[in-house]
Amino acid sequence: MTTPLIQISGLEKAFSTDESWLNQWRLQQGKIKRRKDNVHALNGVNLTINQGETLCVVGETGCGKSTLARVIMGLTPPSAGEIYYLDQRIDQLNDKERMFFRRRMQMVFQNPYASLNPRMTVYQTLSEPIAFHNPQLSRYEIDEQIEVLLESVGISATSSDHYPHEFSGGQRQRISLARALSVEPDFIVADEPLSALDVSVQAQVLNLMMDKQEERNLSYLFITHDLAVVEHFATRVAVMYLGRVCELASTTTLFDYPKHPYTQALLSAIPRLDSNTAQPIRLIGEVPTPIEKPIGCVFQARCPYANQRCYESSPKMILQSDASSVACHAVEEGRL
Ligand SMILES: Nc1ncnc2c1ncn2[C@@H]1O[C@H](COP(=O)(O)OP(=O)(O)O)[C@@H](O)[C@H]1O
Ligand code: SF4
Ligand SMILES: [Mg+2]
């Protein structure tokens, strides 16, 4: 068994809510006390990403997907936990130490309109990281690399002097991907990279990402809310709810035998030809905001199977006989 490319354990991230000083005072048991609320965006996330695989992360808006991506990329520090790249710990690096990993790990963002600098031509956008990470290359060699890279993502090299606004959304996302690929990374974190694109263009960008993965043995952490994309693209799937992973499984196992009540509800919303369950399971209630660290199961307020134990203790991830892992008391107790 090869070492996972990325290993994450006990990852937590709390943001302090920037309430005004006046709003921080609360009446508690007859006394006025100052209290600053924290939003617990990640609450003990454990994950591995293997070399050459696509780990898809799914879950409703606000469950912590983007925070997970940003913490892994070192764009924001975790509150607790550890992140390893192969056998090297990377969550506490300073800028200089992180340089090597900046090259190995790249990110593609949701919105290609915002993530490309509007004042830089495509040539400038691509030549900057290539020159930075390869100071030995001549200008001619850089030009050559840009030409090959652009053609490989289906953008004509003759348009390299154009600015982002001169391209369509799909073209811009392919340029973003070219920029990520320009430094020859092993690992790409893609945070909803298709959701700003027309449906017809989404498949092109997705196919391009899959081709590049095969060519370069890339690993992806791919965040999406589109379950059709997950089924098509993912090697394994992590289902998140309120800052926790509640189910982790290979794609076929997850779609064929979803076990966590939340996963079952998510999947039952997609119409399937071979489905035996006629009615989608409706999720009742809103996703709560994770202001207080939850006691018990994070899904308790919306779960039809919740019992007393679910309100008192938080379910741990338990390995199942089909190699999936599920955090649910009802699954553990065999009542689901
Ligand atoms: N910079 C921030 N400051 C305060 N709260 C934040 C910040 N970023 C995210 N959050 C909160 O953390 C939670 C998770 O957000 P996010 O990671 O963006 O979720 P997702 O990408 O799954 O929609 C949300 O409740 C969000 O409001
Ligand atoms: S632990 Fe309890 S509340 Fe949480 S998903 Fe399982 S049954 Fe529902
Ligand atoms: Mg997000």
Which amino acid is it at 225?
H
Q: How high is the pLDDT of residue 291? A: 76
Cβ partners under 8 Å of residue 224, min gap 6? 56, 57, 58, 192, 194, 195, 230
Q: Whose CA is nearest to atom 14 of ligand 1?
A: 64
Q: What is the pLDDT of residues 191-249, one digit of tens each?
A: 999 998 888 889 989 999 999 999 999 999 999 989 999 999 999 999 999 999 999 99
Spell out a b/e string for 132-163, using b for 16 or more CB atoms within 10 Å of the CB, else e.
Answer: eeeeeeeeeebbebbbebbebbebeeeebebe
Residue among 114, 289, 88 at smallest CA distance from 193: 114
Residue among 229, 232, 243 at smallest CA distance from 47: 243
Joined together, the tokens standing for residue 169 give: 């959304």
Residue of 43, 259, 297, 320 with the most ligand 2 atoms within 8 Å of its CB, for mutation: 297
Q: How high is the pLDDT of residue 278? A: 47
Let me know: does 201 contact 168? Beta carbons within 8 Å.
yes
CA of 67 to the centre of ligand 1 (A): 6
CA of 327 to the centre of ligand 2 (A): 8
Residue of 305, 307, 335 with the most ligand 2 atoms within 8 Å of its CB, for mutation: 305
Low-confidence ranges of the chain (pLDDT < 70): 1, 18-25, 27, 35-36, 271-281, 284-286
CA of 261 to the centre of ligand 2 (A): 7
- How many of the other CB atoms lie within 10 Å of CB of 129? 17
Let me know: does 102 contact 32? Beta carbons within 8 Å.
no
Residue among 242, 278, 309, 272 at smallest CA distance from 62: 242
Q: What is the pLDDT of residues 128-149, one digit of tens each?
A: 999 998 999 999 999 999 999 9
- CA dist., res. 181 & res. 106, Å (int): 8
Q: How high is the pLDDT of residue 271? A: 67
Let me know: does 251 contact 231? Beta carbons within 8 Å.
yes
Indicate the length of the chain as a whole number.
336
CA of 48 to the centre of ligand 1 (A): 22
Residue among 30, 42, 1 at smallest CA distance from 238: 42
Joined together, the tokens standing for residue 268 give: 């039952």
- CA dist., res. 247 & res. 191, Å (int): 19
Residue among 219, 55, 133, 97 at smallest CA distance from 89: 97
